[in-house]
Structures are given as structure tokens and as C-alpha cells.
A and B are shown apart, each in its own frame.
Chain A
């Protein structure tokens, strides 16, 4: 809790701003600082220690829950600390500041034949945010989370220390700050090993699957592809429960693309600003609003599945990296289509054997409560060595839910019940997506030992508890 005291405000009133989650479903005031130099971060830490306020770290603000919100206190937005510090086009080693985005990354390196080894579904997050969440892509089985491709990072800790971490040096902090949700320190530089590619295209296959068991089987069988992902129609019931469409994709071997220098160009990758050549993408989300209610979404999901099943079944084509990886950027501001109340995403990670049954129960429960997920996505995962890891040997199912003032309490009750099912099945969760867990839930999947380890590191690097977010107080408070 705060100890802001005395005659004069500790924080400058003109920095007070509305701070939201990506889904626009959670908002709180915060005093937002946007420095460009590490020295300014050190100054803010000093002020926080002296005057007793807390600081929440924020990148591009793309997390779905309350991970980058620090209600009523300081928010340190690192998106302007975004210099490219070094780039080696021969070895594919990139060193950047934390505000450097995924978009900055591919636009800086792709023409040299290097692509991000792990890419999220959107290009707008910062790398600092990606490391803090330890993001994964549609290639998690193959490539692991982004943390496995970090050669080194430097960080400024709230205790005033500057540290350099590699998988071997300060290994504890390395494996805790990656995935540590910005609660241990601020990245000041990040060094990444990128992936060599020989074309700007991926070899993509698309096909439909009639139910959840088949989707999961296909996701598992397809795990040797470079990328594998399934879309699930969460509105379908009965025998079609969990039906959807699979996409696999593979990098092209050297020589397959006759003109790699063409396909690797930024201009070649970029999505055209217009859909069908005439409809500006920037207005699509306005039109989508009209269909973003239960009947509308049922119709869209059904139509999409029917098309996938017929015209689009078993198709094979080349697709640009950008179009395949950053599907969420296809419609700019798509999250606005959910309307005033915004959306949340609820993502569970379940062990391979337990997934099908638990998700069938969960999908049915959502439908019974009249709160179907508007979008479902399945991926294949494997465990990793990071402290607050969300991964395991199994699958994840991400579900987007519309939030409105009327359904908030119902939605909360639903996610609480879904969490119960997931925990009973040995499930795990992902802080970058979460807005539903309680501290007891977090303890249940992370385990006492992991939480104790994290708290020891937290106490060492942040003895005054300066780095806090709404997520931290929610999931790591002492129950």
C-alpha cells in the first residue's frame, strides 16, 4: 500500500492518465512516465523509494488482463526506449532496447534473411513485454518460448543494481525475469538470436476437422511442422463440439523460393491497406461491431467452418510470414469490435491426456451459460525451464469473451468454474492473458516452492516492493 504523504503530491498531477488493458475491459488511472533513457528509470526508482509510491511496468499495453496496470500509482511505459543497439546480419544476433517492437524487429532484419524465432499473433508488442510474458508462437513445440532465444539481457533492478544475465550467468534471475511480468526489474538491453530463413514465404496447409478430439489429434500429429495451430468454433454444439480448422506451416528450404530477395522485402510482406482493393482495413472493425453478439458470432463461426469444410478444405499455398504469423493484425483495432465493454481472453494449458475431456466440459459450460467464446485457438506446447512458466507437455486453448456491464458478474462466475475444471485436470495459466485467477489459483498451479523462489528473488531485487501491478497484487498477495 502507498505511503504517499505530506504537503505536496509525490507524483506530478499532469501525468495522470487512463490506463487500459488491451481488451478495453479494465481501466484505472495511473501516473504515466515515458522515458527514453535508462538514467530516467533509475531516477524514478529513486523517487519511488524515497516517496513511497509503486511503479507498474508497461510496454505496448498489449496484455489482455491487468498485467500492465498499476491503479492509482505510477506506470513506467518503456515503449519509447526503443533503440536498435547492434545488429549482426551474418550471425543474426540483434541487440535492442526493451521498447523495440516485434514490428521493428522483422522490418529491421528480414531483408537480411532473419526472422524472429518466436513470434506472437500480433506485431505490436515490445520485446521487453514479450520477454516479461515469455511469449510463445504457433511454433511452441519446436522453438519453445522466446526466452530460449535470448542470449543475454541487461537489467536495472529497483535495488539500484545493474545486472547482466545469460542462461549461465545470474541464471536464477535470467529464468525468473523472463516470464516475470516486469516485477523484478527493467530490461535495459535484450540480445536475441534470430532464425535464418531462405524466403519470405511459408509453405502453408489448411484443412477442417469435425470435432475437438480430431482438432487435438491433428495438433499433436502436426507438431513436427514448423508451425501448427487450430481454430475452434466455440459456438458449435453436439457432435460438432470443438470443430474447427487447422493450419500447418513450414519454412521453405534454401532454393525453393526462386526470388528470396523479393519475398523478404518489407514492402512485399506488408498487408495492403485495403481489403479486396477497396475497403480500408481501418474501418472494418466498425462494421464488425454489428455482428458481435451471440447470434451474429454463431452465424459467422458456422459460415466460416462451412467454408473451411468445403471450398477451403485441404488447401496448400505459400503465404508471407507477416500474413501467417500476425493474423490478429489483419483487422486493425479488431478488439474495438467487441464494443464498449471490451473483451477478455481466457487461456488454459492442459496436459495432453486430460485436454480433450476437460475442454469438452468447458465448451459445453460456456454454451450452457449463454456465454460462448467468440474465438477459440488451439496450440501445442512443451515444458520450459522458466520459473513462472505457463507451458507444459500438452495443448492450450485460448478463448475470447465479450464483456459488457450486464455480463461481468456472470463472466466472472464462468471463468471461476472454468478454472476449477482446468486445475483439476492439471492445467496451467498465462499471466499475459489472465484476468480471472485468484492468488489461491496461481499458487495451485505454480506450487508453493515456485512462489517461494519467486518471492525470494523479488525481495532481493526489489526489497521495497516498488514494482507492482494490479496482476501482482491479485495473484501474488499473501492469501
Chain B
């Protein structure tokens, strides 16, 4: 299946690659961007969920807006060839969104290297492998947009899930470096820091209260992409909440339980 071509060279459709698109924020963002007219390459491990999402998007658009590629982000060595294939299939890429990542449940007293490694592999190393490809392309093109779905969890080392926080903090710092390298080349790097969003991942981790709707989250990300923002908290008021948390002195923070 191939994406529907542009009407004319003058009026190209925006084209985005979404890594980690089968569920959660990734899937919601795929729907939102397709609704905004984007053509999409959707990547995820779970072929079934991904195909169903593509079918749903294409049926709603009445057009081939989304094409599925089954991929595990920890197959790092496959990524350069796959990126080249995506570029050949799409012809042009305007945005690369990295939304992949697992978050196993970790108890207060648990120190499990396998779980921590799975988080670092998918949240951080996969991002380095994918966004490095994107950065090289966009730098040469002198345009483009990199979007990282990070988390407020990277803002402070909390008691809850050390591996997750560390992976997200690394991701946020990596995105900031990309931003500082690429802004001068005409490339926008957007860091998204969602708070508690209503996704399978959050619910599986036991969060039930105060969850922000995933559809509204996706709409906010799409708006931030359109406005070429730098760092965006979702919901927006989290910026102030996190400001407080970041500046909470350690002697207090050590005693907190979240």
C-alpha cells in the first residue's frame, strides 16, 4: 500500500513518521495528525493494533493517509535501513515523532535491572537511534521537525520509578542538545512533557485519578507542532506545578512519596 501522492509539487501534503504509534499518545496523535491532513508512516511492535489503526484512519479519510511498518525500536541495527526505506516510500519527511517506550510497574522497594534496561532501551536508546537519523536528514534539508514525547518524570529524580525517570531525563537532555544543534539549521525540536495522561500505560501502572484525556493531549501536541514550540507541558498548568517541584529543596523532596 502506498500513500496517496501530492496533488502538485507546489502543494505537498505534510509527512510524518510516528515511532510508537500503536497505542496511547502515539495512536491518538496519529489520528489527530491524519485529521489535520498529514500523511503518516506508523511504526510499532504490535502489527495487529497498528494495522487496525491504519485501517481506521484510512477509512475515516477515505484515502491512504497512514501506512504501517512493524518495528521493534530495540532492533537498533535495523534502523538506518528502515529509515532509508521510509524516506524512499514517503519521498519527503517533515516531522519525526518519537513516542515509543515501555513502563513496567516498579514497587517502592524493587531494584530490577531487566525492567530498568527495558525502559532505557525503548525510551532512550531507541530515541537516539531514530532521532539521530532524523537529525542527519533535517540538517541536510535545512528544515524539518523532531518531536519527542518525554515526560514530567524526567524533571526530578522521584522515588516512584528510578529507571523511568532516568530514561526520560536522558531523553529530555538529548532533545535539548538536538535543539541547540539544529535550530540554527532551520529545524524545530519539540519536547513534549505530559503529566498524567489517560493511556493503557498509565492505567497499567496503577494511575486512576486526575488523568488528562489522551485525545486532548494529542490535540495539544499537534498545536505545538504547528506553532513550532520548544518545550510544552500537557496540560499547560503542569509547567507551574513542575516549576515548584524542580525548586523543592532536597531535604523536603527526600521525604515525599511520589
Contacts and interface: CB of A to CB of B under 8 A. Distances in A.
A66 B194 CA distance: 41
Which bracket fits the contact residues of A? 35 or more
B213 interface: no
Interface residues of B, number: 27
A474 interface: yes
A7 interface: yes
B7 interface: yes
Interface string A13-47: 10011100100011111000000000000000000
B80 A13 contact: yes
A194 B87 CA distance: 44
Interface stretch (B8-16, B26-34, B153-161): B8-16
Interface string B45-88: 00000000000000000000000000000000110110111011
B137 A16 contact: yes
A72 B91 contact: yes
Contacts of A474: 5, 8-9
B78 A29 contact: no
Contacts of A435: 8-10
B96 interface: no
B112 interface: no
A65 B9 CA distance: 8
Given A409-B11, A412-B11, A473-B5, A11 B140 contact: no
Interface in A369-428: 403, 408-409, 411-412, 415
A428 B143 CA distance: 36
B117 interface: no
Contacts of B90: 72
Contact of A470 (B9, B78, B80): B9
A2 B137 CA distance: 18
Nearest to B144: A29
Contact of B81 (A6, A29, A344, A477): A6
B236 interface: no
Contacts of B9: 21, 25-26, 65-66, 69, 435, 470, 474
Contacts of B81: 4-10
Contacts of A25: 9-10
A73 interface: yes
Contacts of B11: 408-409, 412
Most B CB contacts (10 A, CB to CB) among A2, A72, A436 go to A72
A383 B84 CA distance: 44
Contacts of B85: 2, 4-5
Contact of B78 (A2, A7, A69, A411): A7
B10 A16 contact: no
A21 B5 CA distance: 19
A85 B181 CA distance: 47
Interface string B112-156: 000000000000000000000000110011110000000000000
B140 A72 contact: no
B238 to A, nearest CB: 32
A403 B12 CA distance: 13
A412 B9 CA distance: 9
Please report whether the interface of chain B is mostly helix, strand, loop or mixed according to DSSP: helix
A278 interface: no
Contacts of B84: 4, 9-11, 13
A27 B138 CA distance: 12
B229 interface: no
A460 to B, nearest CB: 25
Contacts of A72: 87-92
B250 interface: no
A69 B91 CA distance: 10
A391 B8 CA distance: 24
B133 to A, nearest CB: 8
Contacts of B143: 27
A349 interface: no
A412 B10 contact: yes
A29 B10 contact: no
Contact of B10 (A6, A7, A10, A403): A403
A468 to B, nearest CB: 11
Contacts of B8: 412, 415, 435-436, 438, 474
Contacts of B83: 9
A109 to B, nearest CB: 36
Given A8-B81, A9-B80, A409-B11, A29 B87 contact: yes
Contacts of A473: 5
Interface in A314-354: 344
Nearest to A31: B84
A27 B94 CA distance: 12
A71 B142 contact: no
Given A5-B85, A28-B91, A29-B141, A408 B10 contact: yes
Interface of A: 1-2, 4-11, 13, 16-18, 21, 25-29, 53, 65-66, 69, 71-73, 344, 403, 408-409, 411-412, 415, 435-436, 438, 470, 473-474, 477
Given A10-B84, A13-B136, A29-B137, 15 more contacts: A2-B88, A2-B89, A7-B78, A9-B81, A16-B136, A18-B141, A21-B9, A29-B140, A65-B9, A66-B9, A69-B9, A72-B91, A72-B92, A470-B91, A477-B5
24 contacts: A1-B89, A2-B88, A6-B81, A11-B84, A13-B80, A13-B136, A18-B141, A18-B142, A26-B10, A28-B91, A29-B87, A29-B92, A29-B93, A29-B137, A53-B88, A65-B9, A72-B88, A72-B90, A73-B88, A403-B10, A409-B11, A436-B10, A474-B5, A477-B5
Closest 7 interchain pairs by CB? A71-B91, A2-B88, A72-B87, A72-B91, A9-B84, A26-B9, A66-B9
